[in-house]
């Protein structure tokens, strides 16, 4: 370790308090870091041999400590040490023996090597201060080159109602793909590979939603078990792309590789949405390590217990929650979001446990400071904003309660669709609401059907194949004796738990997967597929694979054929949705004849299997598991984005969740002739003669039929 000697260097300059972080300007680097509690902040620079040089930051404006160093450029590793009070009982945890990551670091090198030196206390005695130096065991911030040739890159800006989201994991998506060079599998470069881009394009999705790519930490407890934080919901760097997903060993190269990935996907018309975790950090509770925020200004960044500031107020289940009513914490989040849009060109964000972001004090507040800031921000307000509308705190389930600018993961859609297809009674009314965009949740405040991001499965829970193959979770591999993960999955194993060779059970499971996919992709709102569901991916009953970085959680590309039945079925459904605006309306159905237009009846009509329009008694019948809906393509009243009125074909959707085949009578008033577009009882298309209105058509047990109106006699 060396102390900065001004006489042997080009003299440092005072620098600027903005922007925060390390900013290379071509002539040197400006360093700026916030800490209200610090008495002195030291910038620590690391040479190639690991020698540390400490530079005191003497200039302080608005609690921002800053300096400009002319001889420091891209690739230089650095960190901070903070001198100040260490009084946990008052929420103050400064300790200059802990090297701290820059909260604004654009790149981070290395990983956390778990050692006693990283913790604020000595093992075995939480009251004893730990002054061991953490520098040898922690990651380092890196100065990056901000310049990148974006060429003609521009955001696709796919309208919400035309969006189909594909949730993917950078590594799990690409780790075993045979067409991708082995050296780059599991990386940003792999997602940008032509084979992967072509797959997304042929599938028909318009956006890839990446599970966390902000720099995250491998949890100490998982490392001790020989496991890892595979999902990545353990952020330590809100500006830095996760370095383990970089194919290059060059320092800071993850930034450029991520940008190249975005550029490649944009060229194919595919948006990039990031799953972001601004509700907590990887530092955990009061027993957790000192890596960054805790050592810089604990009380500014974290929600502390009002009764005893030694402890953290936690609504995330991770040990801490960020303090959303502190201006510098809000600034950090807003600066991070803006950086990923302006400098990394991403197209939107999905906010993990977003209810925590609305907790300005204790209660969830729909109009908290965070949402006010987003609403007025000229950059962030223009991209896709998706909330996971719940957390684990009191009153944390907030589906339908986010501001109009936002869309939401619709957990009620997931639950209802699962219940309907597994044969639960009394679900018809709610199923109809979810199928048509959940107007009960979103219409009252002027939102549109696309406020609902519909999903049946996601990373958290069963895969689609497992949803129809297991009644209970099987998480033994996680090392928690199957105690972790959701217990109430609304799943059904179709008669046998897990793997089986029973052909009837396998046929039913395949049909159920097609039912769920067809319902999802033909519902109003924004559909989201979970990666690999279209390929029949299984986790063998594990519904909480957050710690499984291996074959259990990766897509098994070796056993996937491009012509597989389920993949082809999914592609056909996405194409059907794309080609017919009646499945992706911009406004809710009215359920009545449009005024002032020559339409042929109501925009939507619900029928019993007998072909009679449903009444209140029909909706309330607890044992009913079947219904029919007419979507009138001629009754689309809203103009498209070009201002043109768009008419479409009409469709009849016949749902039979009953355990026996059922005859449906096609209502004569809805059309003279009908062609079969989709039959979930079979995985492929086949020619069938036109069906005349008024006639009967049989729908297989637990199956769905999609009929398109035909004008021919």
Catalytic residue IDs: 352, 388
Give CA 277 to chain center in angstroms: 9
564/198 Cα distance (integer angstroms): 16
Q: Quick one: the chain helix, strand, coil %, rounded to 5?
A: 25, 20, 50
Q: Could you tell me if 319 and 280 are in contact, meaning their C-beta atoms sit under 8 angstroms apart?
A: yes
| Cα–Cα–Cα angle for 460, 461, 465, rounded to 5 degrees | 125
Identify which of 385, 438, 396, 449 has the alpha carbon closest to the alpha carbon of residue 414. Answer: 438
Q: Output the six-digit token pair for 176.
A: 């075993």
Classified as helix, coil or strand, 348 is strand
Q: Output the six-digit token pair for 571.
A: 């592609």
Task: List the 29-34 sheet strands across, edge first.
Answer: 21-24, 29-34, 64-69, 59-61
Residues in the chain, overall count: 713
CA distances from residue 455 to 356, 377, 380, 504, 683 in whole angstroms, order as listed: 22, 29, 24, 27, 21
CA distances from residue 140 to 73, 253, 292, 688 in whole angstroms, order as listed: 15, 14, 11, 65
For residue 639, the 8-state DSSP code is B
Q: Please enumerate in sequence order all residues whose Cβ is within 8 A of that of 670, keeping only pairs 6 or more positions apart, or say none.
A: 601, 605, 630, 632, 650, 652, 693, 709
- The CA-based diameter of the chain, rounded to the nearest angstrom, is 95
607/669 Cα distance (integer angstroms): 12
CA distances from residue 635 to 186, 404, 438, 641, 694 in whole angstroms, order as listed: 47, 26, 20, 17, 22
3-state secondary structure 275-334: EECCCCCCCCCCCCCCCCHHHHHHHHHECECCCCCCCECCCCCCCCCECCCCHHHHHHHH
474/499 Cα distance (integer angstroms): 12
218/280 Cα distance (integer angstroms): 15
Identify which of 217, 213, 234, 201 has the alpha carbon closest to the alpha carbon of residue 170. Answer: 213
Q: Could you tell me if 64 and 20 are in contact, meaning their C-beta atoms sit under 8 angstroms apart?
A: yes
DSSP for 81-144, written as a single string: EEES-EEGGGTEE--TTS-B--TT-SEEES-----GGGSSEETTEEEEE-----GGGS-EEE--
Identify which of 399, 349, 393, 394 has the alpha carbon closest to the alpha carbon of residue 370. Answer: 349
Identify which of 347, 339, 408, 402 has the alpha carbon closest to the alpha carbon of residue 375. Answer: 402
Identify which of 17, 105, 25, 139 has the alpha carbon closest to the alpha carbon of residue 71. Answer: 25
Q: Which residues of 614-680 form beta strands (DSSP E)? A: 626-631, 651-656, 662-665, 673-679
Q: Could you tell me if 211 and 532 are in contact, meaning their C-beta atoms sit under 8 angstroms apart?
A: no
Between strands 59-61 and 52-57, the pairing is unpaired
**Which residue has tokens 């209200």?**
36
Indicate the helix (H) or strand (E) that contains 520.
helix 503-521
């Amino acid at each position: 370790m060396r102390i900065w000697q001004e006489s042997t260097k080009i003299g440092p300059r005072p620098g600027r308090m903005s922007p925060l972080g390390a900013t290379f300007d071509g002539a040197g680097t400006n360093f700026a870091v916030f800490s209200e509690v610090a008495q002195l902040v030291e910038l620590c620079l690391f040479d190639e041999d690991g020698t540390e040089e400490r530079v005191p930051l003497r200039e302080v404006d608005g609690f921002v400590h800053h300096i400009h160093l002319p001889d420091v450029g891209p690739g230089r590793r650095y960190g901070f040490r903070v001198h100040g009070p260490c009084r946990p009982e008052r929420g103050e945890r400064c300790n200059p023996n802990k090297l701290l990551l820059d909260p604004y670091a654009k790149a981070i090198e290395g990983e956390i090597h778990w050692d006693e030196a990283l913790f604020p206390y000595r093992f075995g005695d939480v009251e004893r201060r730990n002054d061991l130096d953490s520098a040898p065991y922690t990651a380092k911030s890196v100065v990056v080159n901000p310049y990148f040739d974006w060429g003609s890159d521009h955001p696709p800006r796919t309208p919400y109602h035309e969006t189909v989201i594909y949730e993917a994991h950078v590594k799990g998506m690409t780790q075993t793909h045979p067409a991708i060079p082995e050296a780059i599998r599991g990386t940003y470069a792999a997602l940008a590979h032509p084979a992967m881009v072509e797959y997304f394009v042929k599938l028909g999705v318009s956006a890839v939603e990446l599970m966390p790519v902000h720099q995250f930490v491998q949890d100490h407890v998982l490392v001790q078990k020989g496991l890892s934080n595979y999902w990545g919901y353990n952020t330590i760097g809100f500006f830095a792309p996760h370095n383990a997903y970089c194919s290059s060993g060059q320092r800071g190269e993850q930034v450029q590789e991520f940008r190249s990935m975005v550029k490649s996907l944009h060229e194919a018309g595919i948006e990039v949405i990031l799953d972001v975790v601004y509700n907590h950090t990887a530092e955990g509770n009061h027993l957790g390590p000192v890596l960054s925020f805790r050592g810089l200004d604990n009380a500014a960044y974290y929600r502390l217990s009002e009764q005893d500031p030694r402890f953290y107020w936690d609504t995330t289940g991770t040990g801490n929650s960020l303090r959303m009513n502190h201006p510098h914490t809000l600034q950090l989040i807003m600066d991070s979001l803006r950086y990923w849009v302006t400098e990394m060109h991403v197209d939107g964000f999905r906010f993990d446990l977003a209810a925590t972001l609305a907790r300005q004090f204790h209660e969830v507040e729909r109009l908290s400071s965070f949402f006010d800031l987003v609403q007025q921000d000229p950059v962030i307000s223009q991209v896709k904003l998706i909330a996971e509308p719940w957390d684990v705190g009191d009153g944390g389930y907030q589906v339908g309660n986010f501001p109009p600018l936002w869309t939401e993961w619709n957990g009620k859609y997931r639950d209802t669709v699962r219940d309907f297809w597994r044969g639960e009674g009394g679900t018809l009314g709610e199923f109809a609401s979810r199928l048509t965009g959940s107007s009960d949740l979103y219409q009252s405040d002027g939102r549109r059907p696309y406020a609902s991001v519909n999903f049946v499965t996601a990373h958290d829970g069963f895969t689609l194949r497992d949803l129809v193959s297991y009644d209970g979770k099987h998480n033994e591999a996680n090392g928690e004796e199957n105690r972790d993960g959701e217990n109430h999955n609304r799943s059904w194993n179709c008669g046998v738990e897990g793997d089986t060779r029973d052909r009837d059970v396998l046929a039913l499971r395949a049909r159920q997967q097609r039912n769920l996919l067809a319902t999802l992709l033909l519902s109003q709102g924004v559909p989201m597929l979970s990666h690999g569901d279209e390929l029949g991916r299984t986790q063998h009953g594990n519904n909480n694979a957050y710690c499984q970085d291996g074959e259990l959680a990766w897509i098994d590309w070796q056993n996937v054929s491009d012509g597989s039945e389920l993949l082809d079925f999914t592609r056909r459904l996405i194409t059907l949705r794309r080609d017919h605006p009646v499945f992706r309306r911009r406004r809710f159905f009215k359920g009545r004849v449009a005024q002032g237009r020559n339409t042929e009846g109501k925009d939507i009509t619900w029928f019993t299997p007998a072909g009679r329009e449903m009444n209140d008694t029909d909706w309330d019948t607890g044992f009913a598991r079947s219904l029919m809906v007419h979507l009138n393509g001629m009754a689309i009243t809203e103009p498209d984005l070009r201002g043109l009125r768009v008419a479409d074909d009409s469709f009849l959707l016949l749902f039979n969740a009953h355990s026996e085949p059922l005859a449906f009578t096609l209502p004569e008033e809805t059309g003279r002739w009908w062609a079969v577009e989709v039959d979930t009882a079979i995985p492929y298309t086949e020619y069938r003669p036109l069906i005349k209105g008024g006639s009967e058509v049989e729908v297989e047990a637990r199956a769905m039929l999609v009929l398109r109106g035909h004008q021919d006699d």
